[in-house]
Each structure stands twice: as structure tokens, then as C-alpha cells.
Amino acid sequence: MLLLLLILNFVGINYALSGERSIENTSFPIATNGQPFPWNKLRLPGWILPVHYDLVIHPNLTSLIFMGSVKIEVTVVHETSTIVLHSKHLEIISAAIEEENGKTQADLKQMKVLEYPPHEQIAFLYAEPLQVDKKYFLSINYIANLSDGFYGFYKSTYKTKDGQTKLLASTHFEPTSARMAFPCFDEPSFKANYTIKIQRDGQHSALSNMPKVKTLKLDNNLFEDHFAESVKMSTYLVAFIVSDFQSVTGTTSSGIKVSVYVTPEKLNQARYALEAAIKILEFYEQYFGIYYPLPKQDLVAVPDFQSGAMENWGLTTYRETSLLYDPETSSASDKLWVTMVIGHELAHQWFGNLVTMEWWNDIWLNEGFARYMEFISVDATYPELQVNDYLLGTCFAAMGRDSMNSSRPISSKAENPTQIKEMFDTVSYDKGACILHMLRNFLTEEVFQNGIIHYLKKHSYSNAKNNDLWTSLANTCSEEDFTSGKFCYSKSQVAKNAHSYYVDEHFDIAEIMNTWTLQKGIPLITVKQNHKRIKIRQERFLKGIFPHDPQWASMQIGFLWHVPLTYITSHSKSIGRHLLKNHSDTIELEEDVNWVKFNVDMNGYYIVHYEGNGWDTIIKLLTQNHTLFSYKDRASLIHNAFQLVSAGKLSLDRALDLTQYLQHESSNIVLLQGLGYLAVIYRMMERRNISDVTESLKRYILQHFKLVIDRQTWSDEGSISDRMLRSALLELACDLQYPPCVQKANELFSKWMESSGNLTNIPSDVLETVYSVGSKTANGWNFLLERYKVSMSGAEQRKICSALASCKDDAKLTRLLELAMEGHIIKTQDLSSVIYSVSTNPAGQHLAWKFVKKNWSKLLEKFPLGSFSIRMIIIGSTAQFSSKQELEEVKLFFESVKEEVSELRAPQIAVENIEKNIKWLERNLVTLTKWILENLK
């Protein structure tokens, strides 16, 4: 009866707060003990707030069990007899609550502990109500297994050079897995301080968010490390690691101790990361005008890691290939990747950690900003890496995803853990970064930087929503600025500043940016020029769905963007600007012009189509003098043309005509863009076994780009751009069986094999190409697999894995997939990328898909639904399909597992990709065949 009264009491409070009409209409779930669980929502109630966690963790790396105790200081907002919080796979041993004076309010005999696993929640029901504004201390002792996967507090292993397996334990809590390590209020708005103690044996050391302040020696060769109290933060940023790692250490100019921790035999690969982290951390302190608030920053390379990296405050964790740089086996692109990932995670120390999104629907405030700050920070600290060139690729990737009907708004509803995990996608990261870039270009750098400084200062140690960002960008003045005399902008000054760029425009930043964050998709701007009059109109850009399709019109309803347009003309002395708010508009120029080009330097997030003879004029200009346009403009013209082909707006022969000037192109980025499209089309023909077109296109590419291919040296010389072009061109040339390329690669591979892999003079930029050519023989494939087993370089192992997946032998590809599934030689973390690599191989595309179908249940045991790995497996294993039979197979399979994938967007994306490929072939194959024959020499 007491329990029933407590539940009714709780329900009454619930309904008073939530505005429901009556308690009779409410049904409550049933806890594991068969009793009613007193809360029926996924989100926690808000009447108990955590203030401080005192956490003690003891992982046993022999039994793979950990013991934990947590004491949570809470404040009561509304009187209640129930505390609901998160717990997953934790066995509660005992629990008690104390008042501030130390009086025990209840223990396990006097209170009920209920568990409801579907919501990953536990509830403590007390004999007496907890009083408003009083402090209480909830103490819980529990036990759990170290997780087998990549979330929560999980075990990881690595092998030494002599083959010994070493164990460690590490955490990964984002987004909803802190509850797997300790009972907690596992939502981003429940910020608190943490004091953490780790018990470990003498051969290991422990790390956490804060520096270690002391170590106590316990019985049985156990030590207890005490860490300083943390700043106020969300649960998903808590972290701790127990390992035998070693480190290299340095200090920033402001006194922050920076350390990079790795397995002992890889310590020599940690030095570049240390240098980069110090430089970038110093840059952010200056750029944000806010000192990094912790005394140390550790970067840890974890041997088993599902994603790229994680921004735990003061203890960022990384996949080894995202942190370690080996001069002998890491290519130019590997170096760029490591630098950018470090830039991303350190940006999070401000965007995400200091200021956190209020809920996961706005995760882009964390990830979009961090992705964009990669480019700003690396450009400032390592200008030689030419990182801004690759922002184009980021935005092209975002546009590719966003032009599908299966896309989603940047800010989207996400409630359960599966939906939340799926939010960590191209839309949040890449589109988020690209609309920020557009906004920065619109507002000017000065206004943008001042706005985000204001945003960070105003919401420090707190949470924010979309509108908080727009408010800060519209009004960068704070009380502190007025009293200290600092420079800032008021709302009217921001408008005035941008007003000088957008003549006669009146705008509201929130109104503009809501059109980019609250609706999905990307606008297509259609331009029709007539002397000095330019007519413009906007519509939703859709690939694979054409205006004559029945569903096209309905997919356009309700879509309207406020688009900050930029343009240059044949008579431009400056960039023209116009804010397009309506479906159509007209721009009147001061004089007649011969041509116009919109979206200058690809600073805007939109596709442009030139009606009438617009594309003919551009093609002619590129042929006559391509330097009329900047290299970014040339790359975006190529991108737009081929995207318009997929939308049925431009014929394929016109897009191909545009690429013909490329034999005179001097920009590596533009060359890669144009060649990339030709390579994609070639591989589609190869996979469909359309042999005549495949052979003709191969001949065309090798003829048309022979001079630039032959110019490539098998070396690591030149700028980062030169080196990345070399890697891509030689990989393509050897894939196309260009004799000089294959011969040179075979020669290098043979010498390397003869030296038993000890020869280290294969340039790192061509290593993957050499390995791929070498893998085509049985001996070469087997030798590479043996090399993979003993390699101490993650960068080399990634290149070997890619090469092994490129062979044409079904039995070897099957073995590779099985090795990745077993998880011993090839780690489980790499399983999804192995499946994807095999699926991109024409000889392996159906093999990979059959493997996914056969092992679906096992894959779900290894990776949670909504995770990056599952999305990559679903989308990656089907992305190459382009026939109606393949489409039906894929649909049937997802129908058969409908209950499991019902909440996922990934199957919709996979199906839509195949439909798009089918339509592309139906529409363009005849044109392609004809064009190639006409243009072959």
C-alpha cells in the first residue's frame, strides 16, 4: 500500500507539472519486478537536479568486471518521494539517501528500487517526501561487466610486437552511455561537477578529465588515484581510462599541460599530435577570447574506437588513425586528417563542452561548429596544409546528402538513443559547417567572430538552443563590453555592417537562418540573364526526382529559403550581393554584361543553374580562358553541372563538355573534382559490366589526362595539394590498368616483398596504390595480410586493408570479410569499413551485400542501431547498386527486418540512392556512349 501511495503521490506531481488533465488517463510501464514504474517518458523529470557526483570506479582487467559507487548531491525543485535517473546494465547492490546533516533518510530495506530497461531508467521511491530547496545525497553501490562494444565503460586490447595481448578499459559516453558506467541524470542539460577516484593495480595508470591530485595505496597491490574536482559539465563528457599507456608532454604559452597517450611501442608516432594540439589550443584561446578552463588536456589513442574521436573535457579520445602520425607510412592526406580531427575535438572544448546544446535535436551546435572550426584553426596554424581547399569537398558531401528526399532538417526531433545516435551524421557535421561558412561570409568575419565570442561567454557552463546563437550573432554587446569599453556590435550595427554588402536589404538573422536549420534540403537557384537584367528563382533541389515525375510538385510545397546570393559578372569590379527571400526576384545591373556567375568561391550553400545559353557561355569561357574564374568557382561549376544532370536539369553531354578544358587546368583541387566525376561514371559502368562503354571511357580518361598522369612522380615531394593529387591520380591510373603505372607499382611491391617488408623506401603517398597493385596476386595478397598482423602503424594497416579489399578473388574477399567479423586479426572497429571497401570493388559488391544479409543479427550484436557503423554498413553495402533487381532485393531485406530498422533513416537513404542510380543510367547511358565515341581520339 505504501508503494501505491508513493506512486500516486508522484503521479499527482507529474500531472500538475505537465499540464495533463487527469491521472486516470495515464498508463505507467511495468518495472522488472512486476510493479508499476513511476515515470512513463523517455526524458527525465526535472524536479531533482544533480549538483555534484562523487564517483569511485574499480575495473578488474582480469575478471572484466567493475565495481562502482556514486554519491550524487541533488537539489529538490518540487517536493517528491521519487528520484528517477538513468542506468543501463548496472546491478544495483545497495542505495541510501542522506540529508545535508548526515541523517540517513532511507536505505535499501526502507525504499524501493525499480528498474525499467526499455527506457534505461531506475527509480528510487522513498518513505518520506524530499523537501524543496533542500540538499540530499543519493549513494548507490553497483557492479557491472566491462562492455564488449564501444560504448559505456568498455574493454580494449592491443598487441605488442612480440604478439602479447594487453588489456585496458576506456569510456565513451556520447550520446547516452554514461548510464552504462554509473547511475546518473544522463541528459545534456543536467550539468554538474564531478570528483572521480579510480582504483587500479600497480602495473596500470589512470586518467580522467582532471589532473590527478594524489594516489593512495590500498590492500592487495591496489592503488586509488584521486582526481581534482571537475568544472560543471554534462554526463556525456565524463571520461576515465585505465591502461599502461605512455605519453609525450608539452605546455602551451598559457600554461596548459598537453599530453598525448599511446601504447608504449607507438610513442614515436605521438609527437606530431602533441605539436598540433599545443598550436591549435593556443589559437582557440586567442580566437574565442576565453582561456581553456582546465589545467590539462590529454589526447589518448584508444586501440578500439568506433568513431573518429570524442571530445571528453580534458581527456579527448581518438581512434589511432585519427591521432598518430608515422612519417614512414602516413601520407599527406593522413597528416591533414590527423590535424583536422585534433582541431575538431579541441574546438569542442568550447563548442559543446563550455556551451552545450540543450537537447540532442540541436547537436549541430556542437558538431557543425567543431567541423567548421577545423578549417579556421588549421588554416591559421598550418597554412601549408591548404585546408580551406577541402571545405569545398565538405560542402559538396553535404549537398549530396541534402538533395535526397530522405534528408532531414539540421535541427530535428530525436528522443530515444537510436534516434539520437543517428543525429551524428553528414547533416549535423557538414551541412552545419557549410551554413556557418555562408553566415560568416554574409555577416563578415569580424561580426561573426564577435558574435560567437558573445555566445560562448553568455552561455558558459550552461546550455543553448538555435535561437541563442542567432541572438548572439545579432547583438554582440554584453554588459561587460559596455563597462570595459570593449568593441562590440549592437543589433542595428550588425544590420548596418552587412547592409553595406546587401544594398537595400533588411534582415533578421534568426528569420534567415531558421530557413536553413528548420527545413531540410538545399535550394536550386535558376538564373536567366538578359543584358543587364538577371531573373532569379528558387526551388528545392532534388536528385533522382525530375519535374515531370508525379511526386515532384508535392515535394516542392512549403520550401523557401532566405538565400544570401553572391555573383560576379564580365564587368565586375566587386562581388555583387543580393538576399533572395522570395521564390523569384530580379536583379538590375548598372550595365550590360556578357556573363554572370553566382555563388562566388562556393561561399553559399546552394546549387546554381544557368538557363538559356548560360551554360554554353560558361563552357566557352572555360575553354578560352579558365582563369577568368577562381579555382573554387571552377570546382563549383563542375560540381553544379554534374549535380544538375542527376536532377534532370542539364544534359550529361553538356556537363562532360565542361570538363574538356581540364587538360589545361592548373589547380589540383579542380582537377580532382573533374576526374572524380569521370571516375565515378567509369566505376558505375564497370560494376554494371557495360564493357564497351567501360573500355571506351577508360581510353578517354587515359588519353585526355595522359600528360598530367605522366607528370606524377613516385615520391612524397611537393605541396599537400600536389601530394594528394599524386595519390589520387596514380591510384586511378593503376585502376585503369595504365601500363606505366602498373609496371612501376609492381616493381616497388616486388622489391618490398623481397626485403620481407623491411624496405622502407616506398613513398607514403603512393603506398596504398603499390599495395593495391601487389594484392592482385595470391602471393602478394597473403604477404600483405601477414604484414597487416605485425604492423605497428594504423595508417599502414588502413592502406593494407583497402588493398586487400581491391583484389578480384571471391575466396580472398570472403576471407577478408570473415576476418573482420571475427575481430581478432582485423579489429571489429574496422568491420564496417571493410564491408564498404569490398562493396566498392566490382568483384565484391554482391559478396558484401550477401555477407550483410547473412550476418545481420551478428552485426547488430556488435554495433548499436543508429551508430555510425550500422549506417555505414546499410548505406555503404548498397550504394553501388543500379538495377531494378538489386533495388527489389534491398527493399525485401529491409522489409524483413522492418521492426529493427523502423526508426532508422539509413534504409530510406539506401533505397533512394539505388533509385537515383537506376534513373541516372536510364536517362544518360545513350548520351554517355555517344559522347565518348565522338570525343575519343
User: Each residue of 214-271: pLDDT tens digit?
Assistant: 999 998 889 999 999 999 999 999 999 999 999 999 999 999 999 999 999 999 999 9
824 among the known binding-site residues? Answer: no
Q: What is the pLDDT of residue 110?
A: 60
Rounded percentage of the chain residues whose pLDDT exceeds 90: 89
User: C-alpha cell of 47?
Assistant: 524536479
Q: What is the mean pLDDT of residues 66-70?
A: 98
Q: CB atoms < 10 A from the CB of 372, how many?
A: 25
CA 321 to chain centre: 15
Task: Please report where in the chains the cell 545559353 appears, as a residue.
Answer: 613
SS3 assignment, position 302? strand
* Gyration radius of the chain's alpha carbons: 29
* Residue 221, pLDDT score: 87
Phi/psi of residue 663, nearest 5 degrees: -65, -15
User: Smallest Cα–Cα separation from 634: which of 666, 606, 593?
Assistant: 666
pLDDT digit string (tens) for 873-901? 999 999 999 999 999 999 999 999 999 99
Half-sphere exposure for 186 (CA within 13 Å, toward CB): 28
Q: What is the pLDDT of residue 133?
A: 85
Would you say 408 and 414 are in contact if contact means Cβ atoms under 8 Å apart? no
| Whole-angstrom distance, CA of residue 649 vs CA of residue 636 | 16
Q: Is 289:343 a contact under the CB 8 Å cutoff?
A: no
pLDDT digits (tens, 9 = 90+) for 708-742: 999 999 999 999 999 999 999 999 999 999 999 99
Query: Tell me, what's the pLDDT at 10?
Result: 32
User: Residue 561 phi/psi, 5° resolution?
Assistant: -115, 155
Report the 10 Å Cβ neighbour count for 353: 26
Give the global pTM. Answer: 0.94
Q: Is 348 annotated as a binding residue?
A: yes
> Residue holding cell 538545399?
522
336 near 765, Cβ under 8 Å? no
At residue 834, the 3 state secondary structure works out as: helix
Percent of the chain with pLDDT over 70: 93
Catalytic residue among 275, 345, 422, 686: 345
Cα separation, 384 vs 328, in Å, equals: 20
Average pLDDT over residues 770-799: 97
| Amino acid (1-letter code) at residue 459 | H
**Which pLDDT score, from 0 to 100, does residue 111 have?**
76
pLDDT at 478: 54
Query: CA of 924: how far to CAs of 608, 638, 646, 651, 655, in Å?
Result: 21, 17, 9, 8, 11
Angle at 229 between CA 226 and CA 235, to 5 degrees: 105
Q: In sequence order, what E strands does 239-332 have?
A: 240-243, 246-251, 257-262, 296-302, 309-310, 315-319
| Model pLDDT for residues 640-672, shown as the tens digit of each residue | 999 999 999 999 999 999 999 999 999 999 999
β 91-99/135-145 pair status? antiparallel
Cell of 101: 546533516
8 A C-beta contact, residue 916 and residue 404? yes
Confidence at 39, pLDDT banded by 50, 70, 90: very high
pLDDT tens digits, one per residue of 592-617: 999 999 999 999 999 999 999 999 99
- Calculate the CA 181 to chain-centre distance: 24
184 has which bridge partners? 86
d(CA 906, CA 892): 15
Q: How many residues are present in the chain?
A: 937
Cβ burial of 454 (10 Å; 0-12, 13-18, 19+) is buried
Q: Over 50: is that where the pLDDT of 396 sits?
A: yes
Closest Cα partner for 857 from 900, 895, 820?
Answer: 900
With a cut of 90, say whether residue 12 has pLDDT above it: no
| pLDDT of 7 strictly over 80 | no
Residue 505, pLDDT above cutoff 80:
no
Please report the beta strands in 406-491, taking only residues with DSSP state E, as ranges in sequence order: 462-464
Q: Give the Cα separation of 666 and 711 in Å (integer).
A: 12
Give the model confidence (pLDDT) of 901-925 as tens digits: 999 999 999 999 999 999 999 999 9
Looking at mean pLDDT, say which of 96-100, 111-115, 186-190 comes out highest.
186-190
Using CA atoms of 890, 806, 766, 744 in order, give the dihedral in degrees to the nearest 10. -140
- Count of Cβ atoms closer than 10 Å to residue 83 Cβ: 26
pLDDT at 27: 84
Report yes or no: 489 and 477 within 8 Å, Cβ to Cβ.
Answer: yes
Over residues 439-457, mean pLDDT: 95
Q: Are 315 and 296 in contact (CB under 8 A)?
A: no
Residue 757 has a pLDDT of 85
pLDDT at residue 485 greater than cutoff 90:
no
| Beta-bridge partner residues of 159 | 165
Looking at residue 507, its pLDDT comes to 75
345 carries an active-site annotation: yes
Hunting for cell 597473403 — which residue is that?
782
Helix, strand, coil content of the chain in percent (nearest 5): 45, 20, 30
Instruction: Summarize the confidence of residues 105-115 as an average pLDDT.
Output: 67
Q: Is the pLDDT of residue 285 over 80?
A: yes
Using alpha carbons only, give the angle 768, 773, 774 rounded to the nearest 5 degrees.
Answer: 95
pLDDT in tens, 685-701: 999 999 999 999 999 99
Tell me how far the alpha carbon of residue 612 is from its chain's centroid: 39
CA torsion sign for 132, 133, 136, 140 is positive
